[in-house]
Amino acid sequence: MSRPYERKSGSESSRIIPDAKDQWYVLHVLSNKERRAVENLKRLFKEDEEMGALVQSEPLVPTEKVEEMRNGKKYVQERKLYPGYVYLNFALRRPDGELNNDAWYKIQAVDGVISFACGRSKKPLPMSAKDVRELMAEIARRSEGSRQKIVFNVKDEVVVLDGAFQGERGIVEEVDTERGRLRVGVTMFGRSNPLDLDYTQVQLVPEDERGTAPKA
């Protein structure tokens, strides 16, 4: 998958609404507050019987295990695949395709939840069956053991893997190792564009291919 909230169809009427058990939505939540948002959602579903009846499975925050060496010792940490997003398996659309507005408003009012990631539509649309399959496959793939942590340094040259600047090269200007995020400067039309990106959204340019991006 590219971005976790990407929607390729701009027309609500053209989308096939999955059955209740297969409806998955993407929630944009406060960064580093994903767990808190999940707990607040669970509390809402437990306290509100009507809402609880619409839940198909627990809210999901996809993670992976990442290992790194520090002072000669190996440490394994759990890291979120998509920081700032929670996946919700919830029957938000009725069988006739109509949105359950009451449930929509209640979820958006949960502490920690910013909004539904709706793409081009102003109202929440469920993920396509293809996107759900890709998400579950990615989660399964990342759950197979742990992977070596990639270390980025200031002035490293990277290529952006998704978003509006996909395929563009840039220079790492800042590294936030705690959050696993980078500030990358990408120059277009003679102007530098600072991008705040997750580690998974960039890739180091091979050493023998470096030198095409403007220096920070």
3-state secondary structure at position 203? strand
pLDDT score of 7: 46
**pLDDT category, 146, cuts 50, 70, 90?**
low
For residue 151, the one-letter residue type is: V
- DSSP-derived letter for residue 159 is E
CATH code of the domain occupying 157-209:
2.30.30.30
**pLDDT category, 207, cuts 50, 70, 90?**
confident
Domain residue ranges of the chain, discontinuous segments joined by + = 20-148, 157-209
pLDDT digits (tens, 9 = 90+) for 164-173: 888 899 999 9
3-state secondary structure at position 123? coil
Higher-pLDDT residue of 190, 214: 190
- DSSP-derived letter for residue 5 is T
CATH code of the domain occupying 20-148:
3.30.70.940
The CB-based long-range contact list for 64-67 (8 Å cut-off, 24+ gap) reads: 64/142, 64/143, 64/146, 64/147, 65/145, 65/146, 65/147, 66/146, 66/147, 66/148, 66/149, 67/146, 67/147, 67/148, 67/149
- Could you tell me if 144 and 124 are in contact, meaning their C-beta atoms sit under 8 angstroms apart? no
Most confident of 125-129, 197-201, 208-212: 125-129
pLDDT digits (tens, 9 = 90+) for 76-124: 778 888 889 999 999 999 988 899 999 999 999 999 999 998 766 688 9
Per-residue pLDDT for 208 more than 90?
Answer: no
Mean pLDDT of 3-14: 51
**pLDDT category, 147, cuts 50, 70, 90?**
low
Per-residue pLDDT for 69 more than 60?
Answer: no
Per-residue pLDDT for 8 more than 50?
Answer: no
pLDDT score of 161: 87
pTM: 0.65
**pLDDT category, 9, cuts 50, 70, 90?**
very low
Per-residue pLDDT for 216 more than 50?
Answer: no
Higher-pLDDT residue of 138, 150: 138
Mean pLDDT of 146-159: 79
pLDDT above 70 as % of the chain = 81
Residue with tokens 């998955």: 24
